[in-house]
């Protein structure tokens, strides 16, 4: 499976997002009304104020604080090289990430877990909000499905099935992919960012998801996992 892809032409990524404001009270009044309308059907018994901690899920109310990317290196002795674009200034973060992509061939294939429903469109929406042009690898308007260079490890696992979401944690478990036990999970990122100001800790968490996705891709291809000593984090 996936043997037709050259690993050196793949870029694995993951993003971490948070609400744009630390609390619902800080939202501008007109956005409070829009938030209430956007979420009234899904928050059940929660108030709009209490539900605001989930605002990072929506590109209209959230922002990106970290994009971690990984590229495969080497030949027979495969490695993985990880780099993160992170910061409080989202526009600057996206400009740096975009400059990196623009320095790569347009044929570069982007890989993420649930990327087609979350990571890729979220990045595009936030870029447009900041008035930034989309890199060729993300500009899919007018393209036919087979012309889009995006791979989604969750979609691949479906094999055409339309059943529910399958987490990266579950897939790494069933494929015996070792993952470090983290002291945080995705639901905690907003609180750690706004209340504890621990961006570096969030970046480490994001990088681990890139490693896990890259290793899952190797398993899909029937290949051995990349040894820890061949995984490099670039400052």
pLDDT at 102 over 80: yes
Give the tokens for residue 98.
Answer: 């975009």
- CA 91 – CA 132 distance, rounded (Å): 8
Short-list 10, 17, 214, CA closest to 118: 17
* Span 7-20+61-234 CATH architecture: 2-Layer Sandwich (3.30)
What letter does residue 92 receive in the DSSP assignment?
H
Q: In this predicted model, which residue has the larger pLDDT, 59 or 78?
A: 59
Domain limits, the chain: 7-20+61-234
Percent of the chain whose pLDDT exceeds 90:
81
- The torsion angles phi and psi of 51, rounded to 5 degrees, stand at -80, -10
Q: In this predicted model, which residue has the larger pLDDT, 77 or 142?
A: 142
Question: What is the pLDDT at residue 181?
Answer: 65
Distance from the Cα of residue 69 to its chain's centroid = 9
Element spanning 157, H or E: helix 153-158
Angle between helices 90-102 and 119-129 (to 10 degrees): 110
- The model's pTM is 0.94
CA distances from 143 to 6, 139, 148 (A): 22, 9, 7
- CA 48 – CA 36 distance, rounded (Å): 6
């Amino acid at each position: 499976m996936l043997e037709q892809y050259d690993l050196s032409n793949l870029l694995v990524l993951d993003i971490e997002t948070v609400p744009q404001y630390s609390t619902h009270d800080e939202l501008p009044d007109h956005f409070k009304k829009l938030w209430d309308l956007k979420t009234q059907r899904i928050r059940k018994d929660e108030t709009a104020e209490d539900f605001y901690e989930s605002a990072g899920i929506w590109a209209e109310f959230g922002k990106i604080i970290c994009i971690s990317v990984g590229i495969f290196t080497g030949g027979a002795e495969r490695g993985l090289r990880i780099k993160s674009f992170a910061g409080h200034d989202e526009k600057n973060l996206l400009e740096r990430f975009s400059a990196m992509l623009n320095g790569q061939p347009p044929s570069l294939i982007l890989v993420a877990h649930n990327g087609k429903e979350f990571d890729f469109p979220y990045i595009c929406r936030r870029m447009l909000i900041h008035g930034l042009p989309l890199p060729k690898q993300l500009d899919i308007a007018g393209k036919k499905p087979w012309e889009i260079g995006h791979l989604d490890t969750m979609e691949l696992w479906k094999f055409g099935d339309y059943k529910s979401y399958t987490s990266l944690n579950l897939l790494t478990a069933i494929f015996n992919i070792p993952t470090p036990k983290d002291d945080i999970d995705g639901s905690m990122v907003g609180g750690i960012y706004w209340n504890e100001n621990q961006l570096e800790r969030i970046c480490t968490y994001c990088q681990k998801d890139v490693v896990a996705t890259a290793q899952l891709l190797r398993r899909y291809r029937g290949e051995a996992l990349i040894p820890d000593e061949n995984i490099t984090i670039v400052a």
